[in-house]
Structures are given as structure tokens and as C-alpha cells.
Copies of this chain bind each other. A is one copy, B any other.
């Protein structure tokens, strides 16, 4: 299968077999992660591997008990990491210059590029993956769990394992919804209706609306999945984490 075919066939996998991932495959996945572009080749990220079954059980509540955390054999937690670089600087008569918001963002971007390279490599070996967005929600607890020092903030988590389901390709908006030519073309009401029409007409959308007892798909998101009060709460928690981990010295 070509690279492109593999990337275009990406599916989120939520059910995993308990089969282990051979060491040589996992090490290639990690090597791919480390080959991704990084800010100034500074490698501003760390990857924490959780394989131990008891540790995965203990980690699951930090991801709102999503079952794949205990089920899949490998969990990779990707963190923005300036700790390593700052320690090196300190040993080389150089000041601590990256303890500010810009470098948290650079670390977040580096960590995400590494994560996506791991996903692409893993899928090329027939492994399934899912990103856990809960990582930023519970970053304070994940810091305690992994004993993360100053300069390290969890950004995202990738679950790896052999799929125990074969879900269909997820729907996406038409490509013109996300691509702009030469300048940003803002969306008028008709454009929004057109771009969301196919998604809103899906059978699964109708089922979701019925299950959630709301009027439309947007309300599933706003009233049920990601509520404003929760979003505000988790924003405060994550900003506090970024500050506590030493990224707001400016």
C-alpha cells in the first residue's frame, strides 16, 4: 500500500485486541516519531510509554475511563518538553531562555508532529490508533501520574494496538470547507448550509440527534459533548498547568 493510500485510509480505532506489539515494530514507530521536524532541531518533546497492565488501568480514569486505555497494549503520552534543553543549557553556561508561552507552543507543535508521525508509521504496520483529547483536560493529574518536572506539559496521547473492529471511513466536510486560495474566504450562511449538508444528512447524524434528544447535530456538540462550562473549567486548569510548569515567565 502506498503512503498516500495508508494516510487516506486512516480510521480511529476504539476496540483493540490484547495482543502485544513486537518490540521491533514499536521501536520503528518511536524512530518515526523522532524523525519528524522539530523547532530548530531542538526536539522539544518527550514520549512516555505505558505498557504495564496495572499502570494502564491506573491511567484509564485520567482519560475518563475510555476502555481502550486499559485494553490496548501501548499508550504513548506526548509532552511538550523544555526540561531537557534547559538542563543542557544550565550545564553549558547558558541562561534559561525558553520558559515562556512561545516555547510552550513550539513544544506543543513538536510533540504533535512526533505524535502524527508515530500514527502514520503505526498504521503502516497494521496497527490501529486513537488520539485522546482528554490529555489536556487532565494535564494536572497526568503530571502527578508520570512525575513530570517543570518544563514538561502533556499535550496529547496516542493509543496503539491491533484493531478489533473495522469501522468505516469517518465522514469529512468537503475539502473546500478547509482550503482557502490566496486569502481567507469567510463563510456566508449559504456556504455553511452547503458545507454541512452532507454531514447533517448522514444516517448516523440522525441517530445521534435522536439518542441525545436534541434538535440538530450542532446541539449534540454544544449541549452534550463539549459544554461551555466544562470548556471554561478545563481552559483554566490547562492555563494553570502551563504556568505551574514554568512557561509563563515573561
Chain A residues with CB under 8 Å of chain B are 1-4, 6-8, 10, 12, 27-28, 30-37, 39-43, 45-52, 55, 81, 83-84, 87-89, 91-95, 97-98, 100-103, 105-106, 108-109, 112-117, 119-121, 123-125, 129-131, 133, 136-137, 146-149, 152, 155-156, 170-173, 175, 177-184, 186-187, 189, 192-193, 195-196, 215-219, 221-223, 225-228, 231-232, 234-236, 238-239, 250
Contacts and interface: CB of A to CB of B under 8 A. Distances in A.
Given A48-B184, A49-B181, A136-B102, A216 B92 contact: yes
Contacts of A179: 30, 46-47, 49
Contact of A3 (B37, B43, B97, B120): B120
Q: How many copies does the complex hold?
A: 2
Nearest to A181: B49
B100 A231 contact: yes
Contacts of A88: 192, 196, 218
Contacts of A36: 7, 10, 116
A112 B101 contact: no
Contact of A7 (B52, B121, B193, B228): B121
Contact of A40 (B91, B133, B186, B232): B133
Given A155-B109, A175-B31, A239-B101, A180 B46 contact: yes
